Each structure stands twice: as C-alpha cells, then as structure tokens.
C-alpha cells in the first residue's frame, strides 16, 4: 500500500527551529514560582499537551523537593492552573515571532503536495495558540491540508493516538500503511507508534537537539553531523522507524520510495 498522508508536527518540525517558544515560556512561568528549570528538564516532555507538560515538570524529584521547601506542601491542580496561566501569557507574548518556518519547510511541502501527498498535522498547542502559529506559517507559504489540536480530541493529545486518527478520518485513509507521522520530539514518536503508523523523526532544529538556528548554523559541518547522529540515536531508542535531517530530505526520499516497506529498508541515517 502506497503512502498517501503525511502528518507533520508544528514547532520544531515545520516552524520554530529548535522549538524555542515553549521552552522560554516554561522557563519564565516556573521562575515566577521560584523554580529554575534547565533546558533538558523542560524538553524531555516536549510535544505533550501543555498542561500535562507542566504536571510532568512538577513531578520531577528535584522540583517536588524545591516546591516543598518553598511552599511547605506539595503542588496541586491549583498550582498547575496558575503556572499554565503564566505559561500562556509568556507564550502568546512572542509566539508569532517564534513561529517562522524552518528553512526547508515550504520547498519540502510544495514538493510533497505536487507529488500527490496529503499533508495533515498534529500539535501540543491549543486551538488559540495555533491561530497565531498557523497564521504566521500561512503568510510565509505553509498551510497543511488539515490541522488537529488536543482541543479537537477532548484534550487527549500526545502520546494518545487520537489526533492522528482524526487526521485519518478527514483524509479517509483505510490502512495504517497509508500514513506517516513526522515530528521532532519523543512524544511525536510515541503518538505515531501508539497509532500504529510509520513514525519518522526530524533531527535538525528538533527539540531533542535543542539548539536555536543561530547556534546550529555556527557549528562546523562535522559538529552538525555528530549532533544529528546523537539525536537520531535517541529517536531510534524510543522506537522511531526512520530519522532524517530535515523535511526536504524526507520529501526527496518519499518521491523515490512509494511505501513504508521501502522506507523501512533505508539503513543509513543521512543517506538515501
């Protein structure tokens, strides 16, 4: 069965190189509560529904201990709500500025759509957040054929598979083998695997790599290759079926290989 539908993530995959907007917002929101989080802590749950992301950060042993020392009792859902309100405030403040397309997105998606593929999308952002992100992306030339947020599936976002299923319903896919999920976080891969579809990770500009575009571009070629390989190793350990550097590499590969079974035989990361 040939691939018909490609379901892309947003931040870190098609827009916002390095998935920087939510990282900064989480840092500021927790700092308001006296908790300083590092990038690694913030990025591990990346891709989840944002309120669930906050719950997981609050569940970190170090954070639980610091919270108890500061407030004298464990955090609860009222604290989750309070942090989420701060997170939303900081995110919306500069979401548009951090929603520009990654360098390869427009050309890659144009190639994929010209080849007949349908482009779906899933995200950890809410409908209100996506109004900002999608509008910025549209101005710059990218608009998927369908968009599903956690709000559209009763807040059962990643790692639940329901956003993928909703895309499949929209595109009338009959077989899992018609669908590919593409993302830049572990949550993306788990979402895809839980849905039973072929799951591909993008390494350049991914949340797993965790570098801004400026930081990445400043690296030597061999440094870039090493970091891409490290990110790929992480994704493969979490069950990814395939890793690519970027969407343009994926587009070129999909135009050559018509089925997930052919894609699965691609053995060497970074070569087609």
Q: Which of 50, 102, 118, 193 is catalytic?
A: 50
Residue 11 counted as an annotated binding residue: yes
Give Cβ neighbours of residue 219 (< 8 Å, ≥ 6 apart).
Answer: 227
Tell me phi and psi for residue 118, to 5 degrees: -90, 140
Tell me phi and psi for residue 121, to 5 degrees: -160, 150
Q: What is the pLDDT of residue 268?
A: 57
Residue 79 counted as an annotated binding residue: no
Q: Sketch the domain layout of the chain as residue ranges.
A: 5-19+99-264, 21-94
Residue 271 banded pLDDT, cuts 50, 70, 90: very low
Q: Which of 9, 86, 104, 241 is catalytic?
A: 9
Residue 267 banded pLDDT, cuts 50, 70, 90: low
Mean pLDDT confidence for 192-198:
97
- 9 counts as catalytic: yes
Residue percentage of the chain with pLDDT more than 90: 88
Residue 242 β-bridge partners: 200
Residue 9 counted as an annotated binding residue: yes
Q: What is the pLDDT of residue 270?
A: 47
Mean pLDDT confidence for 43-51:
89
What is the pTM (predicted TM-score) of this model? 0.89
Instruction: Measure the CA–CA gap between 187 and 59, rounded to whole angstroms.
Output: 17
Residue whose pair of structure tokens reads 């053995």 in the numeric block: 267
| CATH architecture of structural domain 5-19+99-264 | 3-Layer(aba) Sandwich (3.40)
Q: Is the dihedral of CA 25, 195, 205, 63 positive or negative?
A: positive
Residue 266 has pLDDT above 80, yes or no: no
CATH of domain 21-94: 1.10.150.240
């Amino acid at each position: 069965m040939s691939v018909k539908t490609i379901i892309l993530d947003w931040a870190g995959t098609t827009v916002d190189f390095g998935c920087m907007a939510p990282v900064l917002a989480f840092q500021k929101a927790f700092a308001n509560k006296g908790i300083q989080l590092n990038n690694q802590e913030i990025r591990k749950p990346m891709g989840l529904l944002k309120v669930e992301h906050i719950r997981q950060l609050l569940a970190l042993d170090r954070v639980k201990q610091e919270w108890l020392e500061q407030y004298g009792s464990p955090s609860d859902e009222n604290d989750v709500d309070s942090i989420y309100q701060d997170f939303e405030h900081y995110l919306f403040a500069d979401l548009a500025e951090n929603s520009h397309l990654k360098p390869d997105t427009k050309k890659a998606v144009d190639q994929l759509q010209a080849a007949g593929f349908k482009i779906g999308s899933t995200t950890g952002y809410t409908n209100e957040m996506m109004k900002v992100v999608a509008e910025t992306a549209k101005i710059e030339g990218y608009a998927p054929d369908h968009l599903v947020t956690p709000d559209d599936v009763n807040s059962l976002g990643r790692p639940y598979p329901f956003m993928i299923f909703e895309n499949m319903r929209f595109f009338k896919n009959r077989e899992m083998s018609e669908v590919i999920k593409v993302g830049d976080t572990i949550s993306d891969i788990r979402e895809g695997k839980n849905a039973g579809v072929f799951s591909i990770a993008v390494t350049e500009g991914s949340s797993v790599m965790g570098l801004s575009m400026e930081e990445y571009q400043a690296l030597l070629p061999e440094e870039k290759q090493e970091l891409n390989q490290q990110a790929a190793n992480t994704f493969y350990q979490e069950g990814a079926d395939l890793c690519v550097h970027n969407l343009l590499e994926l587009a070129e590969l999909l135009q050559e290989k018509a089925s997930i079974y052919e894609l699965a035989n691609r053995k060497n990361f970074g070569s087609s």
